[in-house]
Structure 1
Amino acid sequence: MEPLVKLKSMDRRTACLALAAVPLWMTGCLSAPKTEKAAQASTSTSEYKKPSEDGRMTATWSNRITLAPDPLSGGTLNVGLLGRVYLFKNGYGVPYVSEGLLVIDLFDHTPNPGNPEPRHLEQWRFDETVLPKFEKKDFVGPGYSMYLPWSTYTPDMSKILLQARWCSKDGKSVYFTQSDLITLDHTAVKEYANSHHALPSTGAKPELIDSKNAVVKTNSKS
Structure 2
Amino acid sequence: MLFDFHVIKWVDRGNEDIHLISSVTTSTTTIKKASRSYINRSRDAESHRGFALLQSMLYHSQEITTHYWLTPLLSFMVRHPDATVQAYFWFLQHLDNQLLCSAAETSLACRTRSFMEDPWQQRRLVYQDVLTEPGGVNFAHYWFYRLEFVLWHQQVRQSEEWQRLRLTAKNSVEHISPQTPSKRDDNRADQMMDRFGNLALVSRSINSEYGKLVQQAGVPP
TM-score range for the pair, normalised by the shorter chain length: under 0.3
Higher helix fraction (1 or 2) = 2
Over alpha carbons, which structure has the higher Rg? 2
* Structure with more relative contact order (C-alpha pairs < 8 Å, separation 6 or more): 1
Higher strand fraction (1 or 2) = 1
Using the size of structure 2 for normalisation, the TM-score is 0.24
